[in-house]
Amino acid sequence: MRLLLAPMEGLLDFVLRDVLTRVGGADRCVSEFIRITGSLLPDKVYLRAMPELRNGSRTLAGVPVRAQLLGSDPASMADNAANLARLGPEGIDLNFGCPAKVVNRHGGGASLLQDPEQIARVVAAVRKAVPAQVPVSAKMRLGFNDRLKMIECARAMQDGGACEIVVHARTKLDGYRPPAYWEEIPRLREAVSVPVVANGEIWTVQDALRCREISGCDDLMLGRGIVADPGLALAIRAAVAQGGDAGAATLGWQELVPQVQRFWQMVCEDLEPRQRAGRLKQWLNLMRRRFPEAEAAYQEVRTQTEQRVVSAWVAALPQRDWSKG
């Protein structure tokens, strides 16, 4: 079983990749998408999205990171993939799943699921442009407005040279609304010979076990679920090792407090001042789905904007009596 960290624009960036891979359980990460239009991007753009390129394409905890590109023009995608390959990424992933309107309006992301032939051209161009030892993978949804072309799209990715396909088991029209349709994935697995990874709506150990059973996939990609519960990957591994025991425990809040402190330290070092408090609130907002203590923490910090005040609050977290809410 492999557990991958999903690329999530504006959320699962290099700071959270560092923190979550320190917690453990993840085998590989994928960067936020790097958008390709008509120009050759300078190295600083790749490095901004994926600073791990300076560390052998690994997080500081040693987990490999694959760079994700988003675009629809085969020539531009190939040129930028070749340029990026000089920097030594663990691999290159191609985004055919982003549901954002601004991306789809310009022919990128999930909009390409309406045109399997173009998908094949994009994948083939990138595969040809980068060295043979650099893996090229792809991420897709089940379709744009419907699922009628999902098998064609998966085959187009494989035929173009993708070595692995991650399937977010919803259409673009579904967005992020539950449920995820894991039951559709076996049809895709039967249609291609490359490994297929299941993704979508995996919030708990029970979800992960059900997804593996229904989809038939050994490998999973975790997104919002592991952001909300940083110990999720470790708990899934424990459950599988115990023969499918859905009661495997995740990490407690007190064990995560040092990671919250590290997160804030990195945010203050690496992000613009105007982004800092918001990023902490964003993470706490998701974690309160899992931890009552995160709910209390979020309520305490949600109106704060001054870095000095937030830093003092974060520094005092280990001494806080969480039993009082």
Positions annotated as catalytic residues are 98
Cβ burial, residue 165 (10 Å; 0-12/13-18/19+): buried
- Name the one residue in this structure whose structure tokens are 């999903």: 6
Q: CB of 283 within 8 A of CB of 20?
A: no
Judged by DSSP in three states, 121 sits in helix
Q: How far apart are CA 166 and CA 124, in angstroms?
A: 17
Question: DSSP code of 225?
Answer: H
Helix H, strand E, coil C: the string for 281-323 is: HHHHHHHCCCCHHHHHHHHHHCCCCCHHHHHHHHHCHHHCCHH
User: Distance between CA 189 and CA 237 in Å, rounded?
Assistant: 23
